Amino acid sequence: MLLAGLVTACADGQSSAGGGGLRASGSTTVAPVAADAAEALKAQGMNITIATQGGSAGGISQLAAGQIDIALSSKPISDEDRTAHPKADFVTTQIGSDAVGVIVTKPVADAGVKNLTVDQVRGLFEGKITNWSEVGGPKLDVFVYDKEPGRGTREVLDKYVYGDEKAPPPPDTDNFAIVGGNLETRNKLESTPGAVGPLSTGFVEGREKLAVVTLDGIAASPENIASG
């Protein structure tokens, strides 16, 4: 599942900074890249602040309201975004590409869960697959951490699983929780046996407790990300 790293600007002729500096906010996926860029710009004398309030949707809403100058978004601007903010003239600049991975704990992967099909991902997130043994893994209960609505990662997952259909409401189970940004998601996954969740694969590199499964046999490799 591909995730486009976007910096989204609102070209309405007005700056929210008012000479006080440049303000950017939004996606936790884009934030590390934006923070590195901000440090380089600060070294050249620019006053710039980076925040991650409300994820991609939050950044887009703040931008439309004139509260920030740049929205960090890990999803493309949608027709719904433009309809919700008709006075905003959004201009998008892609700064890179990333992959949303379906992440499991290392013990689950080591026990046999190396690949998942789209139907299996749907079954996990809808609460229909409740034990990893049902997909070739250990006898361990599944615990799902899904992203809250408005997160770019969530929209990418929903697009992969449901296409143009609307995702169903969360399952009525104690083994399901809603999380926010990437760091929170990673911490929850690492601390919960049998956990699964969507996460930017860049946040999993070097994390010994987590593994990225292939999806329908396709790995989240740099080559596959670059080719789409």
pLDDT in tens, 38-61: 999 999 999 999 988 778 888 999
Secondary structure percentages of the chain, helix, strand, coil, to 5? 35, 30, 40
Q: How confident is the model at residue 207 (pLDDT cuts 50, 70, 90)?
A: very high
With vertex at residue 26, the alpha carbon angle to CA 20 and CA 31, rounded to the nearest 5 degrees, is 90
Q: Beta-strand (E) ranges in the chain?
A: 2-10, 22-26, 48-51, 70-73, 90-105, 115-116, 143-147, 176-179, 195-200, 210-212, 214-215
pLDDT at position 19: 55
Task: For the chain, list the domains and their CATH numbers.
Answer: 2-97 (3.40.190.10), 99-227 (3.40.190.10)
Average pLDDT rounded to a whole number, residues 55-83: 89
| Average per-residue pLDDT for the chain | 88
- Stated pTM of the model: 0.77
20: which DSSP letter?
S
pLDDT exceeds 90 at position 76 = no
pLDDT digits (tens, 9 = 90+) for 130-179: 999 999 999 999 999 999 887 888 888 998 999 989 999 999 999 999 99
pLDDT at position 39: 93
Q: Which of 30, 198, 48 is nearest to 122 (CA)?
A: 198
pLDDT at position 55: 81
pLDDT at position 151: 83
